[in-house]
Amino acid sequence: MTDAAHLILSVKPRMASAVLPCARGGPPIPSAALLRRRARGFTLIEVLATLVLLGIVVPVAMRGVSVALAAATTARRTAEAATLADAKLNELIADGSWQTSGNTGDFAPDHPEYTWVCENASRDYGMSEVVLRVKWMQRGAEKVVTISTLIYQNEYGSSSTVTTGGSTETGGGG
């Protein structure tokens, strides 16, 4: 008996049908039956399991993408509204029109979707609070950014401001 035939016969019976050892000691050579099994493709149960898994994962992933896009849009619009509100409040203080409560307007032509309302109220010690609200509609809900400042007017007619803060509201806030 040759060395190659002796080597094939000495392999365990179940291994002989799947993998044949190489005569020179290299890696084993797959048998023809193993190669045919690999060439057949996927079974029906494997395809169905994959489709079920995709049916569960894809809607969840798409919902996550939708939520992330909505959050990014809200953040961008809120930052834009805060910037517009700050610029408008500074403009109203600089030209003295903050003293007329109830001023309204929009930011056309650049940002017509945003509107603003300016209100003022007297506070203690000769201070006036000026509140500016910027509103816009997003996904069917009204969004609001509110900023305010305190202005002190001395007896000589000059004024100075102290920024006191701002807030963001959603829904029907006002």
pLDDT tier at 34, thresholds 50, 70, 90: low
DSSP bridge pairs for 137: 142
pLDDT tier at 173, thresholds 50, 70, 90: very low
**What is the domain partition of the chain in residue ranges?**
3-41, 82-170
| pLDDT tens readout for residues 54-78 | 999 999 999 999 999 999 999 999 9
Check residue 101 and give left, alpha or beta (phi > 0: left; psi -120 to 50: alpha). beta
| pLDDT tens readout for residues 134-169 | 999 998 999 999 999 999 876 555 555 555 566 666
